[in-house]
Amino acid sequence: MIYMKEDKTRKHFTSYMVGGKVFTKEKIGYLTDKEAIERARVMNCREHTIHKLVAYKCPICQKWHVGRSRKVLTEKEREHYRKAYTDIEQSKKLAEMRYR
Ligand SMILES: [Zn+2]
């Protein structure tokens, strides 16, 4: 039961280590799922991301957060996110060019 309680609060707080000490802070809250999904995608593209990052709605603040899932990101998935991200970047650039 204690574990469950901890798991719930972890959804809203993020902990990180600085100089061997653990710090806890509130997670960044996104107003829309789109923003959170986009953020998770960018993070999933990173080389050092081991666990897949997912967007979820927080039961505490009702905003969207990005959190680590238990799933390990495969090279295939990373490629998928990278490709999707590149596509978005390219279409953004194309849209900008059109306005010039
Ligand atoms: Zn929250």
Domain count, the chain: 1
Confidence band, pLDDT 50/70/90 cuts, at residue 100: low
Question: How many Å lie between the centroid of ligand 1 and the Cα of residue 90?
Answer: 32
Torsion region of 19: left, alpha or beta (phi above 0 gives left; psi -120 to 50 gives alpha): left
Burial class (CB in 10 A: 0-12, 13-18, 19+), 72: exposed
Tokens linked to 89:
């970047």
Range of the domain at 57: 28-98
Q: What is the pLDDT of residue 4?
A: 47
88 vs 38, higher pLDDT? 38
Domain assignment of residue 14, yes or no: no
Q: What is the pLDDT of residue 48?
A: 86
Domain assignment of residue 19, yes or no: no
pLDDT at 2 over 80: no
Question: How many Å lie between the centroid of ligand 1 and the Cα of residue 58?
Answer: 5
Question: How many Å lie between the centroid of ligand 1 and the Cα of residue 70?
Answer: 19
For 84, the 3-state DSSP assignment is helix
Tokens linked to 44:
């999933």
pLDDT (tens digit, 9 = 90+) per residue, 37-85?
999 999 998 888 899 999 999 999 999 999 988 899 998 998 888 888 7
Domain assignment of residue 75, yes or no: yes
pLDDT (tens digit, 9 = 90+) per residue, 26-42?
999 999 999 999 999 99
Domain assignment of residue 8, yes or no: no
